[in-house]
Amino acid sequence: MFAIMKDRLSDLDNLLLRDTSPREAWAGISDERVMRREIARELGNLANGVYNVDQEAVTADEKETDIRLRSTVSDHEAVIELKLGDERTAKDLLDTIEQQLVEKYMAAVNCRSGALLVTLAKDRKWKRPGSREFIGVDGLMSLLQKEAERVQEAFGGVVSVDVHLLDLRPRLPLEKNT
């Protein structure tokens, strides 16, 4: 399920490059539940019978996951925790990986795959936790990926954690009319 989840998240990146891209529409979304529905709908469109998509499914501890991909051929699941990165701090995003994604949503034996999916619709900088330094999107992603690796090691390799950025910022400058 981990490989399938990563492939589907990459498919979302590809969707943003198509002529029918939802990039501008998604960039205008400032409500996490609306973004969750849009992404879940696209993941459902990409399922090809391999998995089913749940939104806000409840764990045994009554914690609600954002998006859950459930295999149609086994009892394996993958969890995607969505965060709109435009207003989040780097510390909040870092803490989400272990405290929310892994400890709350990936506790069941059949759910050992997960991803933190961060959307970004505007250029910005984040304050590096424990420092006065500000970092850009590349620095943030590096920080989050290192945390995902640390958490995987801390859990003895029994969980697989991915961090994925869905970049909704305009790719190219507008062309001048001639």
Give the Å distances, CA to CA, from 82 to 62, 88, 89, 132: 18, 12, 14, 27
What's the DSSP call for residue 101? I
Where in the chain are the domains?
A: 2-167
Q: For residue 166, list its beta bridge partners.
A: 119
Mean pLDDT over residues 1-14, rounded? 97
Q: What is the pLDDT of residues 32-88, one digit of tens each?
A: 999 999 999 999 999 999 999 987 655 444 456 689 999 999 999 999 999 999 999
Write the class of the CATH domain 2-167.
alpha beta
Could you read off the pLDDT of 152-164 as tens digits, one per residue?
Answer: 999 999 999 999 9
- Which tokens go with 86? 């435009």
CB-CB contact of 98 with 48 (8 Å): no
At residue 177, φ and ψ (nearest 5 deg) are -75, 135
Measured between alpha carbons, how far is 62 from 60 in angstroms, rounded to an integer? 5
The letter for the amino acid at 98 is E
pLDDT at residue 101, as a whole number: 95
Backbone φ and ψ of 79, nearest 5°: -115, 135
Q: What is the pTM of this model?
A: 0.91
Instruction: State whether residue 91 is helix, strand or coil.
Output: helix
Decide: 69 and 53 in contact? Cβ < 8 Å.
Answer: yes
Q: pLDDT digits over 82-131, tens only?
A: 999 999 999 999 999 999 999 999 988 999 999 999 999 999 999 999 99
